[in-house]
């Protein structure tokens, strides 16, 4: 007569149970080794595709889970929180399968899952290598992104794994953007940056091969030898237009700046901070910090972004005027918000207040000052 043997009824010291457990351990180790190898090959494939500009699906969850199969007897001290066994008998060797989920980390920019070889920046955010390289490339074209940073912490260039030529171009742009009172070639078809070392006696020589035009560092026009700088009518016309429009010129890079909203504390794309009224470095004047009309206009805009149930409540419901007044007072007291209190994901889209780009699906709202920014700006500009 056939008979069935239940594992729970076996003697913990029986040879049959020991043989079964040994075979199970060997098979599990082999399965795990093969699965880990397959997962590594898949990650290599995704990385190669990214570098080639091709987007692939991330490694399936079940593949990652299988790769983390563990037997409890393998380094038990490291898995104290995992399930121990499928048997109720304390003396029966553990033959249960346990799973350890590998935590998935999203890229701080594209929100796609990263792989283990992707870099982690100083603020502890992780980036796809392609996104980080793109940030460094964009910083050479957009001064507001230089130096590349995340959460106001500068990102070391070695994390981006750039080519030697890219590093050379990056260093040249970093020198240009960090130079005060920059000089560019006066030849309209050239306009190459002239580094300080090529400026002698107020005359700069264009470093571009085939150009070599000399430029006066005082008036920024073509050099005129030992003669005084002639009147530049084109520049005078621009300055006159700026004066009539109420624009201000950055004292450091001479760029024109227009105030659309906020206080008179201006931060230029070259990172210089100055007063919009008198154009001298910030906190060195006694000018007012706000224009009252602009202040209340901005307060109305930011109040409208707050959910209605979070505004000031009165017996008559929502007192909008009181909410606007409260926002105006908050702007006066905290107009230099560093946006360190976090950001709220806001559906519906809108125009980023930092870069001016319109995003149709979503923006991020600062919890403290209700400033609206795109993901690129909140990570890499602000």
- Which ranges of the chain would DSSP assign to H, the alpha helix? 15-51, 61-67, 129-139, 164-178, 233-245, 292-305, 320-333, 375-380
pLDDT at 6 exceeding the cut of 80: no
Domain around 311: 290-336
pTM, entire model: 0.58
Burial 357-375 (b: 16+ CB within 10 A, else e): eebeeebbbbeebbbbbbb
Integer Cα distance of 277 and 299 in angstroms:
21
Backbone angles phi, psi at 212, to 5 degrees: 60, 25
How many Å separate Cα 313 from the centre of its chain?
37
CA angle centred on 263, ends 337 and 273, rounded to 5°: 75
CA distances from 282 to 70, 121, 229, 300 (A): 60, 31, 30, 26
Distance of CA 48 to the CA centre of its chain: 23
Pick the last residue of a domain from 336, 351, 368. Answer: 336
Q: Are 332 and 351 members of one domain?
A: no
Q: Give CA separation, 84 vs 110, 167, 301, in Å.
A: 39, 52, 57
Q: What is the pLDDT of residue 52?
A: 55
Closest to 105 (Cα-Cα) out of 96, 117, 90:
117
pLDDT for residue 2: 44
Please give the residue that has the higher pLDDT: either 82 or 161: 161
Q: Would you say residue 218 lies in a domain? A: no
Which of the residue ranges 139-148, 269-278, 315-324 has the most confident prediction, judged by mean pLDDT?
Answer: 139-148
Q: Is residue 300 domain-shared with residue 278, that is, in the same domain?
A: no
The two most distant CA atoms of the chain are separated, in Å, by 119
Asked if residue 213 is part of any domain, the answer here is no
Distance CA 83, CA 371 (A): 47
Rounding to the nearest 10 degrees, give the CA dihedral for residues 17, 21, 22, 25: 180
Instruction: Say how many Å lie between the first and final Cα of the chain, rounded.
Output: 80
The Cα–Cα gap between 149 and 329 comes to: 32
| Same domain assignment for residues 100 and 34 | yes
Region 131-145: mean pLDDT is 93
Weakest mean pLDDT among 27-41, 165-179, 242-256: 27-41
Tokens 């000089």, residue located: 183
Same domain, 327 and 279: no
Q: Is residue 164 part of a domain?
A: no
Q: Give the end of a domain, one of 104, 139, 154.
A: 104
In a domain, 184, yes or no: no
Answer yes or no: do 367 and 297 share one domain: no
CB atoms within 10 A of CB 84: 14
Task: Say if residue 284 is in the same domain as residue 294.
Answer: no
In this structure, the answer to whether residues 281 and 354 fall within a common structural domain is no
For residue 93, pLDDT over 60 is answered with: no
Edge-to-edge strand order for the sheet containing 199-200? Answer: 199-200, 203-205, 214-216
Say if 189 falls within a structural domain.
Answer: no
Q: Are residues 363 and 324 in the same domain?
A: no
- Same domain flag for 66 and 20: yes
Is there a single domain that holds both residue 308 and residue 374? no
Q: Are residues 344 and 361 located together in one domain of the fold? A: yes
Low-confidence winner among 90-104, 123-137, 188-202, 206-220 (lowest mean pLDDT): 90-104
Nearest to 208 by CA among 252, 172, 180, 182: 172
Residue 30 within any structural domain of the chain: yes
The structural domain count of the chain equals 4
Q: Is residue 113 part of a domain?
A: no
> Does 50 fall in a domain?
yes
The tokens describing 179, both together, are: 């130079």
Tokens, residue 70: 């563990």
**End position of a domain, from candidates 72, 104, 136:** 104
In this structure, the answer to whether residues 39 and 90 fall within a common structural domain is: yes
């Amino acid at each position: 007569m056939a008979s069935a043997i239940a594992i729970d009824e076996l003697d913990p010291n029986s040879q049959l149970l020991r043989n079964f457990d040994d075979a199970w351990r060997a098979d599990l180790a082999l399965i795990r080794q093969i699965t880990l190898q397959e997962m590594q090959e898949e990650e290599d494939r995704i990385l190669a595709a990214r570098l080639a500009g091709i987007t692939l699906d991330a490694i399936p969850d079940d593949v990652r889970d299988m790769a983390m199969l563990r037997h409890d007897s393998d380094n038990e001290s490291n898995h104290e929180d995992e399930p121990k066994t499928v048997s109720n008998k304390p003396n029966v060797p553990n033959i249960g399968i346990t799973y350890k989920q590998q935590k998935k980390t999203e890229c701080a920019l594209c929100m796609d899952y990263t792989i283990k070889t992707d870099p982690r920046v100083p603020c502890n955010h992780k980036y796809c290598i392609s996104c980080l390289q793109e940030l460094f490339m964009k910083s050479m074209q957009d001064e507001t992104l230089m130096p590349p940073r995340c959460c106001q912490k500068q990102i070391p260039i070695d994390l981006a794994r750039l080519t030697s030529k890219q590093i050379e171009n990056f260093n040249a742009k970093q020198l240009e953007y960090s130079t005060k009172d920059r000089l560019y070639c006066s030849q309209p078809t050239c306009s190459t940056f002239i580094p300080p070392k090529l400026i002698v006696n107020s005359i700069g020589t264009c470093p571009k091969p085939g150009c070599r035009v000399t430029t006066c560092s005082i008036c920024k026009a073509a050099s005129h030898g030992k003669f005084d700088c002639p009147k530049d009518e084109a520049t005078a016309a621009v300055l006159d237009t700026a004066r009539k429009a109420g624009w201000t010129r950055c004292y450091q890079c001479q760029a024109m700046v227009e105030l659309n909203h906020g206080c008179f504390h201006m931060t230029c794309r070259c990172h210089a901070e100055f007063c919009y009224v008198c154009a001298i470095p910030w906190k060195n004047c006694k000018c007012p910090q706000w224009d009252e009309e602009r202040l209340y206009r901005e307060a109305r805009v930011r109040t409208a972004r707050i959910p209605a149930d979070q505004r000031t409540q009165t017996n008559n419901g929502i007192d909008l005027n009181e909410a606007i007044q409260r926002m105006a007072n908050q702007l006066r007291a905290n107009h230099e918000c560093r946006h360190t209190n976090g950001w709220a994901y806001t559906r519906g889209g809108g125009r980023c207040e930092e870069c001016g780009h319109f995003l149709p699906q979503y923006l991020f709202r600062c919890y403290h000052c209700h400033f609206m920014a795109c993901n690129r700006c909140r990570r890499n500009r602000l």
